[in-house]
Amino acid sequence: MRAARVIYLVHSPRLAGLSPADVDDVVRRHPIATGNVDVQPYNAETDADATRELLPQPKDFSPALPFDVYAQLRQAKWLYRIEATEYEPEDLSYVRQALLIAGEIAAMTDGIIVDPIAFTTLAASDVLKEIDRPFDPLRHVNIHVDRGTRPFFVHTHGMEKFGHLDFEVHGVPRESLEVARKLLRHLIAAVVSGGAFQPGEETQLCGFCFKFGPQKSDDTTHFSNGSLCLCDFKLVADTPTPEMQALLTV
């Protein structure tokens, strides 16, 4: 079984960093029952290469980051890397705990939180809103739509948080984009509920029968932990829509 891994980067503009005791206190307040968590501080002046390498490129974020926000990330004086690993997750509390650690550090340092697995950003206030409402895995996974050589490349980022490969669909026609998004949202929900999919496996979902193939993207670094490619689509719905039929060309 794959390990579930959550990573957050807190970029702080403050000149003074948190003390090791302060960081330890934050971690103790948000323990992970059967996994482990590590918080690594980086000083942008003495660890310039590391802080620059850890920050994703502007093009990776979806939605795109405003220039001033990315500039704040690049100009941060301190970076705190929070990594939580859960090898046998019984529930999703490890995701919540890692997020709380990142949120508290961000609140203490006026920082901006970057999720480098899902390519999103959060403020400390966003974390407060998140913990006050029911857990929704779709808020922790990002669905990207990129223009490709064969219409659109639709894929997820963030499935590593649940110990699973990401999903990708290539050559999606414009009229089928929402169908592809819906399909990926249902796959995410299935994984979060305890499901798992393997290369070569076939399944039925959202009116389709399809297979999971190996990663098809040429960029081996595009996904944090690899991906499965949805392929060989067939219709099983009694009354398929034109948008569903168009996906058969994938």
pLDDT for the residue 138: 86
pLDDT for the residue 77: 97
Question: Average model confidence (pLDDT) for the chain?
Answer: 93
Report the alpha-carbon distance of residue 108 to residue 236 in Å, rounded.
53
pLDDT for the residue 133: 85
pLDDT for the residue 240: 86
pTM of the model: 0.93
Over residues 9-25, the pLDDT tens digits come to 999 999 999 999 999 99
Instruction: Answer yes or no: is pLDDT of 235 > 90.
Output: yes
Report the alpha-carbon distance of residue 82 to residue 4 in Å, rounded.
14
Instruction: Answer yes or no: is pLDDT of 119 > 80.
Output: yes
Nearest to 8 by CA among 78, 105, 82: 82
Domains delineated in the chain: 4-135 (3.30.70), 139-249 (no CATH)
Asked whether the CA dihedral 55, 56, 61, 66 is positive or negative, the reply is: positive
pLDDT for the residue 228: 97
Helix, strand, or coil (residue 34): coil
C-alpha distance from residue 172 to each of 126, 143, 188, 210, 248 (Å): 32, 14, 19, 14, 9
Mean pLDDT of 188-212: 94
Report the alpha-carbon distance of residue 185 to residue 191 in Å, rounded.
10
pLDDT for the residue 1: 58
Q: How many C-beta neighbours within 10 Å does residue 11 have?
A: 27
Over residues 68-116, the pLDDT tens digits come to 999 999 999 999 999 999 987 778 889 999 999 999 999 999 999 999 9
For a pLDDT cut of 90, what percent of the chain falls above it?
78
**230 and 212 in contact (C-beta within 8 Å)?**
yes
**80 and 109 in contact (C-beta within 8 Å)?**
yes
Return the residue matching tokens 């529930």.
Answer: 91
For a pLDDT cut of 70, what percent of the chain falls above it?
99
Over residues 61-70, the pLDDT tens digits come to 988 899 999 9
Return the residue matching tokens 């990401």.
Answer: 166
Helix, strand, or coil (residue 70): helix
> 87 or 125: whose pLDDT is higher?
125
Mean pLDDT of 115-143: 91
pLDDT for the residue 91: 84
**105 and 39 in contact (C-beta within 8 Å)?**
yes
Helix, strand, or coil (residue 44): coil
- Measure CA of the first residue to CA of the last residue in the chain; give whole Å: 30
Instruction: Answer yes or no: is pLDDT of 2 > 80.
Output: no
And the tokens for 174? 């414009």
Confidence of residue 176 (pLDDT cuts 50, 70, 90): very high
Instruction: Answer yes or no: is pLDDT of 127 > 70.
Output: yes
